[in-house]
Amino acid sequence: MSVAAADTVKMNTRTGHLPDVSDIDHPLVAESVRAVAALRRRQLSVAEFQSMIRALHDRLDLTACLSPWIARALDERKDQVLYRRTGDDGRETIQLFYIEPGEAHPPHAHHNIVSTQMVLHGQVHIREYDIIARLTPDRLLLRLATDRWFQPGEAMRTTEIDRNVHWFAAGAQPAVMLNFNVYGCQDWTLDPPGQAFQRRIVDPTIEAQPDGLIIGHEIALEAGYGKFAGRPLTDYAIPRYRPPAG
């Protein structure tokens, strides 16, 4: 196994097109890329793909086999990109997120994504929401699925509907997370095909329905970072239904 230098970039500040990365010799990369190819050929369903990737991650013991890159992320205080491919049919990335103490990734969703995000170092407070429906062009109906601290070895697993709105922040110590995402492989999507793959900020803190489901408001990236960056998730209560006055 080669411990080549990974491409390093801070996720929260990157913009524009980023070059492909495919030169790291590691079983995680090789086996993940083969699984993605099978998914794109429709030889695997999304559920089968997620199950295969989960088994792969368990078998490899990622906190051990990625230890050189975890150490590098902590030392350089930067994300570490092990693999990245952008093509006409979508894109996929295997990278390690470095999360500063107290840093928050605002609540957001993705178009046509299948992903795994596993804590490799430190602790991360995570809230995840299933998407139930689109209500309007800028409103989503959400169900809170998770609200707790994740430890090393625990993972978020996202598809178009399941836990596609997620929000996470490190505590008092830095954290490192594996992020393995694949775009463009699902035949049904909430929004029409051709949508951009970048994150969409979704504010789930404003209102709820009588049945307890949350109405998520899509807001601009700058507004999302202005509201959520650098603050713990506990600063924001889970919204409860409030009957109209009068």
126-166 pLDDT per residue, tens: 999 999 999 999 999 999 999 999 999 999 999 998 999 99
238 inside domain: no
Q: Are 113 and 207 in contact (CB under 8 A)?
A: no
Residue 178 inside a domain? The answer is: yes
| Segment 208-218 mean pLDDT | 97
Q: Does any domain span residue 188? A: no
Indicate the pLDDT class of residue 2, thresholds 50, 70 and 90.
very low
Asked if the structure places residue 164 within a domain, the reply is yes
Cα distances from 148 to residues 55, 58, 102, 156, in angstroms, run 23, 22, 16, 12
Number of domains, the chain: 1
Q: Which CATH number characterizes residue 39's domain?
A: 2.60.120.10
Expressed as residue numbers, the domain containing 68 is 7-182+197-232
CA atoms within 13 A on the CB side of 174: 16
Residue 111 and residue 186: Cα distance in Å, rounded? 10
pLDDT digits (tens, 9 = 90+) for 61-88: 999 999 999 999 999 999 999 999 988 7
Structure token digits, residue 235: 């600063």
* Close Cβ partners of 6 (under 8 Å, ≥ 6 residues apart): 21, 24, 69, 72, 80, 81, 82, 95, 96
Tell me whether residue 245 is in a domain. Answer: no
Q: pLDDT at position 192, please? A: 87
136 assigned to some structural domain:
yes
What tokens does 194 get? 């051709």
217 domain-assigned? yes
Phi, psi of 93 (to 5 degrees): -145, 140
Contacts with 19 (C-beta within 8 Å, 6 or more apart), sequence order: 7, 84
The 10s digit of each residue's pLDDT in 16-36 is 467 899 888 999 999 999 999
Furthest-apart CA atoms within the chain: distance in Å = 68
Q: Which residue has the higher pLDDT, 178 or 193?
A: 178
Residue 244's pLDDT is 82
Residue 8: which pLDDT band, with cuts at 50, 70 and 90?
A: very low
Q: CA distances (Å), 65 to each of 7, 10, 62, in order? A: 18, 22, 5
Residue 221: inside a domain: yes
134: Cβ–Cβ under 8 A, 6 or more apart, which residues?
140, 141, 190, 191
